[in-house]
Structure 1
Amino acid sequence: MKDTAINPFTFHADPEVLRDLRKRLSRAIWPDEVVADAWRYGPPVDYMKSFVAYWLDQYDWQTQEERLNSFPQFVTDIGEHRIHFIHQPGKGPAPAPLVLTHGWPGSFVELLKIIPMLTDPASYGGDPADAFTVIAPSIPGYGFSSRPKERGTSVFAVADLWAKLMTRLGYAKFGAQGGDWGSWISAATALQHPDRLVGVHLNYLSTRFRPALSPDDPPLTSEEEGYLARVADWTAAEGAYIAIQATKPLTLSYALTDSPVGLAAWYVEKFRSWSDCQVEPDEIISKDEMITDIMVHWLTGTAHSAMRFYSESREHPLHLAAGQRITPPCGIVHLPGELPMPPRSWAERAFNVVHWSNLPRGGHFAAWEVPGLLAEDIRTFFRPLRQGSYSMGDEAKSPP
């Protein structure tokens, strides 16, 4: 029944769509380029030609589809949205429910490495007492969730959807974790549902996040001023994608919806720019992984609806009012290849920061790039918060 049923989900691509994709890839029209440092103006043509050749000749969608379907997936209707999610039970004496949220240009695909590490820590050299039951939803407009038909599906709206999803699954309290949009949504969930959140762990704090600064707040430190200057420099050099996706996403979507090579180039540039690679993105994220993420967007026709989340965030930004704070315990981790990250003092203006760490490697796609390191940091943060903090109904102990 609508708004109550939770149904198992698997995905099988339409063979005709796959055939059409091959035709489009094989008929790509390539741009020219000027002599310049590689990647200065975007993915080099030679790299993209090799990427597409791999996609056509070596990439095996069938194998990747089977891998996706090996995870327990479900869909449920919440209001006007159909929400797709992985619900992977933990293996331990008392697995704690944890909502993992992906970002852009990722999807739930970027979480597939880390989910087993969190649900079954013993198989990765960890303590079963640190096990989580992971719920990994797809943001509306991404992948197998439905595409919003009306404006208003902001990070705050998604936070409410996640709270309703967790209620439906029987979890009274839970943890939240994410990077990129996952950090925005996790923070918004903690802001709007503080009584539900045991803790929130973030591996990114957006350059566009602004705590309210009132006359009663301490003045900006030199470290904070330096951070804001770095953000301004980064925005000028790298922020064009935000401007177009936040203002005219439909214009760009014609190209990305019609051309798989165009979609791949738009995403690959971010995989390279935002990851902790030295030269090429597949040093860190394999071609198979990148292509599978691109395939999920292509096969579901969600290039436009995914990027529209930027326009929603522009209209409904995660800015706090004077005196407003995110009160659940918060852990924040820095990675050396990440976009500009603030000093702890900046985060403490808005968050109840109880855990602050630095990983030795990794970038913006931490769950893809360094899943073992990120999983251990998540376990460390939540370990002292577990005792007596979680409540699970009988129906929530295993997926429906």
Structure 2
Amino acid sequence: MDDQTNTGDATIEPFTLHIPQGEIDDLKQRIARTRWADKEVTDGSFQGTSLDKAREVARYWKDEYDWRRFEQEVNQYPQFTTKIDNLNIHFFHVRSNESNAKAILLTHGWPGSFVEFLKCIPLLVDPVSNGGRPDDAFHVIIPSLPGWGFTEPPKETGWNMEHTAKALITLMEQRLCYEKWFAQGGDYGAAITTLMAQMRPMGLVAIHLNLLLTIPKTLENPTDEESRALEAFHITQNEMCGWKWISSTRPQTIAYLLSDSAIGQAMWIYDKYQDWTDNAGDPEDALTLDEMLDNISVHWFSRSAGSISRIFWEDRHFNFDFEPVEMPVAVLVFEKDIFKHPKKWAEQGYTNMIHFHKVNKGKHFGAFERPEILVKDIRLGFANR
């Protein structure tokens, strides 16, 4: 790896999540003062979260949701911060008691955060109590990506996916000093994990992905499976991609909207839970409202709407047609995901595939919706490595 990252001060400081009560009170007051939009008028097609549902979520967030409960759950796990390239990076580092545990870096996507992986931690760290064997144990590292959550927002341009990938390698190898480690990612995290694999850092042994990025632009004589997969990709990049076009072209403008309106921020994310979870019309078929609001509240209290939007501006020219990855890769495909992944495409982009598995439960938020399936697949993919 050509490491151009300025590592800076290598100090690692403990971190405890605590939001001042005044900010919690302010959130409730903002929700109470919401200036509501008109009720939707549609022909039966989906135009976004309905007014009735938005009001229901708002009422629960204001009157019943317990942020202190979430803080208590989060703070049971060791968290830290460290400066990498002048940016204070927040991360979880939860060590297993098993002597042969492997280290795994879990990288979240959008509109997620570290919240996506919380249910995976006990399954990975203590496999014996969770359906596994001692050899299945992992030390778990979960960073808040630059721009996200309680990692310091970048104050300058240049923090694109490549820069982030280099920073995470620095975290694993120069801060935590792992000589052998694994990485997993989906969504945006899959892109960063793929980039890390292409950089071939000294200690990275193999990667696990639950979303692949090998999408051909055109196909000659495609099979039915390939045609369906290409159609699904075009839908995600067009009619389902309004959020990305706004973020990648006018990040500062959307930052004002999402930073000032609590309900605006909530519906910006809730809309994706409605579209991108394995549900029968209601996101609560897949995730509890508390779980969704845990993630939404992290976005709100960290005031990260602007910095997250700028990340997509940084990566607005990302190309899905990238050089093949030679590092060993294990793949889990959630068949209902917004991207479809024929094995043929996967083998073209990831030439050293050591594991490929499809499941028909869960959708885009694999770690969040189906942590037990994801963890089982990680164990299988990285077995004997």
How would you bin the TM-score normalised by the shorter chain? Answer: over 0.9
Deviation string, structure 1 residues 324-356 (Cα, Å, up to 9, x no partner): 321111111111331122211112222122211
> How far did 1:173 drift?
2.2
What corresponds to 1:343 in structure 2?
342
What corresponds to 1:304 in structure 2?
306
What corresponds to 2:324 in structure 1?
325
What corresponds to 2:194 in structure 1?
187
What corresponds to 2:61 in structure 1?
55
Evaluate the alpha carbon distance shift between residue 37 and residue 57 of structure 1 in structure 2; reply closer, same or farther with a 3 A threshold.
farther
> How far did 1:33 drift?
2.5
- Partners of 1:290 and 1:175 in 2: CA distance: 28
Deviation string, structure 1 residues 61-80 (Cα, Å, up to 9, x no partner): 11111111111100000112
Evaluate the alpha carbon distance shift between residue 225 and residue 277 of structure 1 in structure 2; reply closer, same or farther with a 3 A threshold.
closer
**Match of 1:151, SS?**
coil
Answering whether residue 379 of structure 2 is matched by residue 375 of structure 1, we say no
CA contact under 8 A between 1:338 and 1:364: conserved in structure 2?
yes
Unaligned 5+ runs, structure 2:
1-6
How many residues are aligned here?
Answer: 376
CA contact under 8 A between 2:70 and 2:294: conserved in structure 1?
yes
**Match of 2:376, SS?**
helix
What corresponds to 1:395 in structure 2?
none
What corresponds to 1:243 in structure 2?
245
- 1:193-342 correspondence to structure 2 within 5 Å: 193-206=200-213, 209-210=214-215, 221-222=222-223, 223-317=225-319, 319-320=321-322, 324-342=323-341
Deviation string, structure 1 residues 85-128 (Cα, Å, up to 9, x no partner): 00011232300010001111110011100111111111112111
What corresponds to 1:42 in structure 2?
48
Evaluate the alpha carbon distance shift between residue 103 and residue 229 of structure 1 in structure 2; reply closer, same or farther with a 3 A threshold.
same
**Match of 1:256, SS?**
helix
What corresponds to 1:363 in structure 2?
363
What corresponds to 2:4 in structure 1?
none
Moved over 6 A (4+): none
Over the matched positions of the two proteins, sequence identity in percent amounts to 38
What corresponds to 2:93 in structure 1?
87
TM-score by length of 1: 0.89
CA RMSD of aligned residues (A): 2.0
Evaluate the alpha carbon distance shift between residue 61 and residue 101 of structure 1 in structure 2; reply closer, same or farther with a 3 A threshold.
same
CA contact under 8 A between 1:190 and 1:326: conserved in structure 2?
yes
CA contact under 8 A between 1:73 and 1:86: conserved in structure 2?
yes
- Partners of 2:202 and 2:75 in 1: CA distance: 34
Which one-letter code corresponds to 1:370 in the other structure?
R
CA contact under 8 A between 2:87 and 2:154: conserved in structure 1?
yes
Deviation string, structure 1 residues 220-277 (Cα, Å, up to 9, x no partner): 7434454223312333321111211111121111110000100000100001101101
- Partners of 1:178 and 1:326 in 2: CA distance: 15
**Match of 1:237, SS?**
coil
Deviation string, structure 1 residues 279-324 (Cα, Å, up to 9, x no partner): 111221111111111111111110111122211221454642xxx3
CA contact under 8 A between 2:366 and 2:374: conserved in structure 1?
yes
What corresponds to 2:181 in structure 1?
174
CA contact under 8 A between 1:107 and 1:143: conserved in structure 2?
yes
Question: Which has the higher mean CA deviation after the structures are superposed, 307-316 or 162-171?
Answer: 307-316
Deviation string, structure 1 residues 4-52 (Cα, Å, up to 9, x no partner): 1001100210222111111100111111124436771111111111111
